[in-house]
Amino acid sequence: QVQLVESGGGSVQAGGSLRLSCAASGYIYSSKCMGWFRQAPGKEREGVAAIYTGGGSAYYADSVKGRFTISQDNDKNTVYLQMGSLKPEDTAMYYCAAVLASGAYCARNFIRYSAYGYWGQGTQVTVSS
């Protein structure tokens, strides 16, 4: 089992920044695909970014490219999502997800909700205009 705990959410004005953290614990392989999703009220869960921890390759949804950066600290088993130039439409509950998989799988499936087997409880991000 893998447990994921998100932190770092909060309220920020448009144009501001936040950094989310996802700490993984439990039975952990070194190589896995870890992603960030978000879900706004009344909307489907949307893939935002992912990173393959075995090699560090990162993947982004078009909606956040150039504004968000995903990174990892393998010593801490933690993945970060640095969010910049935030917009009101970025307001959502943000979830961390993980799947024990290859880099190729991560590249093909990073944005698919069904591709992940482990989920955190989420952290709220609110961006005001």
Mean pLDDT of the chain, nearest integer: 94
- The reported pLDDT for the residue numbered 112 is 95
State the SS3 of 90-107: HCEEEEEEEECCCHHHHH
CA of 110: how far to CAs of 11, 22, 34, 50, 117, in Å?
27, 16, 8, 6, 12
Task: Compute the distance between CA of residue 24 and CA of residue 34 in angstroms, rounded to an integer.
Answer: 10
Task: Provide the percentage of residues in the chain whose pLDDT is more than 70.
Answer: 97
- The encoded tokens of residue 87 equal 């917009």
Instruction: Give backbone dihedrals phi and psi of 71, rounded to 5 degrees, phi first.
Output: -150, 170
Using pLDDT thresholds of 50, 70 and 90, give the confidence band for residue 2.
Answer: confident
- The reported pLDDT for the residue numbered 41 is 92
- The encoded tokens of residue 59 equal 């993947």
Model confidence pLDDT, tens digit, residues 4-49: 999 999 999 999 999 999 999 886 666 789 999 999 999 999 999 9
Continuous H helices in the chain:
103-109
- The reported pLDDT for the residue numbered 74 is 86
- Spatial neighbors of 63 by CB under 8 A, at least 6 apart, are 46, 48
- The reported pLDDT for the residue numbered 31 is 77
CA of 70: how far to CAs of 1, 84, 96, in Å?
23, 12, 11
Instruction: Give backbone dihedrals phi and psi of 86, rounded to 5 degrees, phi first.
Output: -65, 145
